[in-house]
Amino acid sequence: MSNNALQLASDVGWLASLAWFHSLAVEREPLDHTAILSRSGAYSPGVGAALFPTESRNAAIAANSNHRDARAIQVTTVLKYRLSSDSDRPPTPTRSPMLRSLLPVATILLLTEALPTRLRAQTSPSPKALHAALGGTWTGALRYRDYQDSTRFVSLPTVVEGTTAADSANVRLDFVYDDGPGKTVRSSDTFSLNDQARALLWGPADGKRAPSTFAVQQFSGGKPFTLIVEMNGEDDNKKARIRETLTVDANKLRILKEVQFNADAPWLFRHEYLVSR
């Protein structure tokens, strides 16, 4: 918790203590001595001790032959008389305008600081919801930059079939490319964003090669989902930083791949899937 939050917590604790002492000073009633006064004949139900003048108290004492009971009457009556007097009550504690203005701020900050990570995560998209959103049949195209001629771009008709696991822990993506008359290319990947939405495992569904581990840079939304991940790898046989940006809603899916060959270089378009359903 930050120093500011601790200071505000101290202020709130002080205010709570002040309120408790105030309740003790103002709300607590004195001992009920109705029975003692009734024995002397000086008490009338419904009339508070504050209405008894000094002469009435003395008369009550004299009327009782037992000096001990008379002393009890005098002490308890005076006690109630004093506590019933507005002039003798302790002053009601007051809060300064600054503390009154800080109270709602302190409450908000304390709640924010105290929220467990799990509760905060509930406001973020669920990885399982993203996996489910990728399920179904998507039709469109793969557009990519030619490795032999970086100024040339190629577009291939593409179908993507997403199959979400029963527990929604991952989704299998089957790609079918139309690469010309009589030439169809197929590939399959497994896509799995971990429960904390911090890492993405993406690799061949057949398991012949270990999946790539991407670090999540951004995961947001739901309408649409936006996921941005990065990793260090290779592109065109050169070391590169690789970035994948996935955007999906109910009807459209876009997967963009970009590469960066050094930290000062701009990101270079490599390929993108643009499909819909």
Considering the domain architecture, whether residues 183 and 54 belong to the same structural domain is answered as no
Tell me, yes or no, whether 57 and 136 share the same domain.
no
How many domains is the chain built from? 2
Query: Are 269 and 162 found together in one domain?
Result: yes
Q: Is residue 88 part of a domain?
A: yes
Does the residue 119 lie in any domain? no
Domain that holds residue 71: 3-114
Torsion of CA 162, 141, 139, 236, to 10 degrees: -10
Mean pLDDT score, 18-40: 42
The vertex-141 CA angle with 140 and 143, nearest 5°, equals 155
Whole-number Å distance between alpha carbons of 206 and 189: 8
Q: For residue 68, tell me if it sits in a domain.
A: yes
Residues 84 and 142 reside in one and the same domain: no
Domain end among 114, 147, 179 = 114
Picking from 114, 140, 172, the residue at the C-terminal end of a domain is 114
Judge if 161 and 86 occupy the same domain. Answer: no
Instruction: Judge whether 172 lies within some domain.
Output: yes
**60-101 tens-digit pLDDT:** 444 444 444 444 444 444 434 444 444 555 555 555 565 556
Residues 6+ apart with CB under 8 A from 120: none
pTM of the entire structure?
Answer: 0.58
CA distance 95 to 146: 72
pLDDT at 154: 96
Q: Tens digit of pLDDT for each residue in 117-175?
A: 444 444 679 999 999 999 999 999 999 999 999 999 999 999 999 999 999 999 999 99
- The answer to whether position 193 is within a domain reads yes
Q: Are residues 99 and 197 in the same domain?
A: no
66 domain residue, yes or no? yes
